[in-house]
């Protein structure tokens, strides 16, 4: 997906957030924002929005010198998600042995903004998760995804955020032996890196780093050779979140994108309803 004018307000908010996380010095924050907004004014609209977001993060890290801007948010997200997983038996519609239930749970991680809900009461967060089980879901896509996962020999499962990855773990568990996890090569907001896997309950799972420098998405031309080999060898690629969709939706590989339609640009591009469950299957025979 290309960047468009409507992407700029969101990217601007990213810049403000990164500046605040980088320093408490108001003058330094102003310098970070000035350079970020200059970069936005020179945006190459042929790039996907996560590529522009990477420029913002690079500027913030260069000024702050901090290796990790979102570490506490990641850890808080994982703690909240683990609490929610322990409460799943209280959701009458959730059935752990049912494929559709686990797909809904994986998408539930995408509906929760863990940066917001991480500070709220567990019961309110649970109500948000429950809402996913009341949403319409493309049943034919669920059926085809299960068939593809059952028949695949190798699945590359590209993770999105911490917290969300805890829910992904529950969804992936029956397929663990054929799955390789794809993670970011460097911090990109609160996305999962190799260092976060154990805290997500995914320590010991096979994984591959994309090697890319802080892109909250997956751009093959900037990924490591190892990641590209895993990508090409996979019978099925499952990618979580809108950032992965924005950067990979035109790749000619058998892919399944799982996310909640939240971004107005994405919603318009795919013709979806706001906050609808998306199971986008592409290039599957």
The pLDDT tens digits for 103-147 are 999 998 888 766 555 555 678 888 888 999 999 999 999 999 999
Whether domain 5-64 has CATH 1.10.20? no
The pLDDT tens digits for 181-228 are 999 999 999 999 999 999 999 999 999 999 977 899 999 999 999 999
Burial class (CB in 10 A: 0-12, 13-18, 19+), 194: middle
Place of tokens 């996305």: 191
First vs last Cα of the chain: how many Å apart? 23
Task: Evaluate if residue 277 carries a pLDDT over 70.
Answer: yes
- Nearest-angstrom CA–CA distance, 187 and 89: 33
> Contacts by 83-92 with C-beta closer than 8 Å and gap 24+?
83/122, 83/125, 84/122, 84/125, 84/126, 84/129, 84/166, 84/167, 85/166, 85/167, 85/170, 87/122, 87/126, 88/170, 90/126, 91/126, 91/129, 91/130, 91/133
The CATH 3.40.50.10880 portion of the chain extends over 71-282
List C-alpha distances in Å: 268 to 6, 271, 272: 11, 5, 7
- Domain 71-282 sits in CATH at 3.40.50.10880
- Here the tokens at position 184 are 């970011």
- Tell me what the pLDDT averaged over the chain comes to: 92
The CATH 1.10.8 portion of the chain extends over 5-64
Length of the chain: 285
pLDDT at 11: 94
pTM of the model: 0.94
Task: Evaluate if residue 16 carries a pLDDT over 90.
Answer: yes
């Amino acid at each position: 997906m290309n960047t468009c004018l409507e992407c700029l307000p969101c990217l601007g908010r990213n810049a403000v957030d990164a500046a605040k996380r980088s320093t408490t010095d108001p003058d330094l924050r102003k310098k970070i924002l000035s350079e970020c907004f200059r970069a936005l004014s020179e945006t190459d609209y042929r790039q996907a929005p996560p590529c522009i977001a990477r420029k913002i993060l690079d500027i913030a890290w260069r000024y702050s010198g901090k290796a990790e801007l979102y570490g506490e948010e990641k850890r808080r997200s994982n703690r909240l998600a683990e609490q929610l997983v322990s409460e799943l038996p209280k959701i009458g519609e959730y059935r752990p042995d049912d494929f559709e239930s686990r797909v809904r749970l994986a998408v539930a991680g995408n509906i929760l903004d863990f940066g917001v809900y991480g500070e709220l009461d567990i019961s309110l967060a649970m109500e948000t998760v429950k809402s996913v089980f009341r949403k319409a879901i493309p049943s034919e896509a669920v059926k085809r995804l299960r068939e593809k996962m059952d028949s695949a020999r190798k699945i590359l499962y590209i993770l999105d955020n911490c917290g969300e990855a805890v829910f992904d773990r529950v969804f992936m568990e029956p397929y663990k032996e054929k799955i390789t996890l794809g993670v970011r090569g460097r911090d990109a907001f609160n996305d999962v890196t190799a260092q976060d896997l154990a805290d997500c309950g995914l320590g010991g799972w096979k994984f591959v780093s994309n090697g890319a420098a802080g892109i909250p998405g997956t751009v093959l031309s900037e990924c490591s050779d190892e990641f590209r080999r895993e990508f090409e060898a996979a019978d099925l690629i499952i990618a979580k979140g809108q950032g992965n969709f924005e950067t990979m939706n035109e790749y000619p590989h058998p892919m399944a994108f799982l996310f909640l339609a939240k971004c107005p640009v994405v919603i318009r591009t795919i013709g979806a309803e706001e906050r609808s469950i998306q199971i986008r299957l592409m290039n599957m025979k």
